[in-house]
Amino acid sequence: MRLNNVAALVTGASSGIGEAVSSHFRREGARLLLTGRRKRLDTAQPDDLYVPGDLNDEAFVEDLAKQAAESLGTVDVVVLNHGLQASSPLTEMAYDDAKNVLESNLLSAFLVMKHFAPLMPQAGGSFVCVSSRLGMVGKSGQVLYSAAKGGLIMLAKGAAIEWAPRNIRVNVVAPGLTATPIIEASIQRRPDPEGYRRERESQIPLQRLATPEEVADAVLFFASSESSYVTGSVLPVDGGYTAF
């Protein structure tokens, strides 16, 4: 088991990629602290601790860190997977919506890093940030999301250098379009869902969406000692979308 007895926080654990990461980590022997915004998490297992709340709120993040210290002691791995997708032409986006996108994808990640780095053991630890292919290339209609996810990559790279002396590694997984419930629902809302799906797939070199499990495989790599000499790196899991 690659995470035997490792204590791990997974954010955004109540859906899609976060659920797949939690399930991989559980299989590999991790002790899990899970968080999301919804009050209940039906997929949580008896040994998991689920603490719901809004990571844009520093008071909640401080409380989460306190609960982590009480229940787990130290925290070896933190997966920053929570996030919010937003589509709008730039000139039509309200300032409050833009702030919410930056808070939900970037500033909240900063808050979790700030309050959880002190909980990592003396031997070190691992942060894994879930960014996006759109953190590396721009896209019309998703400019603020792209800016936030690009910012997350630079947050990770800077922290990787700042915390290297403590052997705290910080890496990034950058998924492409992934078949999570939110993406499937957005496809189904189209007038011709199957036509739209084929059009989106045709823009991806591997000609299909990722599965949440394929993204979770990359997160597991960065969380485990298999990547013990890797920090500040970005791994696209995007079927070749950013390979051009």
Ligand X SMILES: NC(=O)c1ccc[n+]([C@@H]2O[C@H](COP(=O)([O-])OP(=O)(O)OC[C@H]3O[C@@H](n4cnc5c(N)ncnc54)[C@H](OP(=O)(O)O)[C@@H]3O)[C@@H](O)[C@H]2O)c1
Shortest distance, CB of residue 87 to ligand X, whole angstroms? Answer: 12
Distance CA(234)–CA(172), nearest Å, equals 5
Distance CA(25)–CA(2), nearest Å, equals 9
Distance CA(127)–CA(78), nearest Å, equals 5
Which member of 118, 138, 181, 240 binds ligand X (CB under 6 A)? 181
Which member of 24, 26, 31, 82 binds ligand X (CB under 6 A)? 82
Q: Are 213 and 24 in contact (CB under 8 A)?
A: yes
Shortest distance, CB of residue 16 to ligand X, whole angstroms? Answer: 2
Lay out the site mask for ligand X across 19-38 (x = CB under 6 A, - = otherwise). -----------------xxx
- Using CB under 6 A as the binding rule, whether residue 108 contacts ligand X is answered as yes
Strand order across the beta sheet in which 234-237 lies: 49-50, 31-35, 7-11, 77-80, 125-130, 168-175, 234-237
- Using CB under 6 A as the binding rule, whether residue 14 contacts ligand X is answered as yes
Which member of 85, 88, 167, 211 binds ligand X (CB under 6 A)? 85
50, 95, 145, 241: the active-site residue? 145
Greatest pairwise CA separation for the chain in angstroms? 55
- Using CB under 6 A as the binding rule, whether residue 83 contacts ligand X is answered as yes
- Using CB under 6 A as the binding rule, whether residue 56 contacts ligand X is answered as yes
Span interacting with ligand X, options 1-9, 11-19, 120-128, 193-201, rule CB under 6 A: 11-19
Shortest distance, CB of residue 97 to ligand X, whole angstroms? Answer: 14
Which member of 1, 154, 182, 206 binds ligand X (CB under 6 A)? 182
Distance CA(226)–CA(216), nearest Å, equals 15
Q: Are 238 and 174 in contact (CB under 8 A)?
A: yes
Q: Are 4 and 12 in contact (CB under 8 A)?
A: no
- Using CB under 6 A as the binding rule, whether residue 118 contacts ligand X is answered as no
Distance CA(113)–CA(199), nearest Å, equals 38
Shortest distance, CB of residue 117 to ligand X, whole angstroms? Answer: 19
Q: How many residues bind ligand X (CB under 6 A)?
A: 28
Query: In this structure, what token pair is assigned to residue 169?
Result: 């590694």
Catalytic residue list contains 241: no
- Using CB under 6 A as the binding rule, whether residue 178 contacts ligand X is answered as yes
Which member of 22, 126, 180, 231 binds ligand X (CB under 6 A)? 180
CB atoms within 10 A of CB 186: 14
- Using CB under 6 A as the binding rule, whether residue 81 contacts ligand X is answered as yes
- Using CB under 6 A as the binding rule, whether residue 142 contacts ligand X is answered as no
Residues 6+ apart with CB under 8 A from 208: 201, 239
Which member of 28, 54, 63, 184 binds ligand X (CB under 6 A)? 54
Nearest to 150 by CA among 169, 133, 167: 133
The catalytic site residues sit at 145
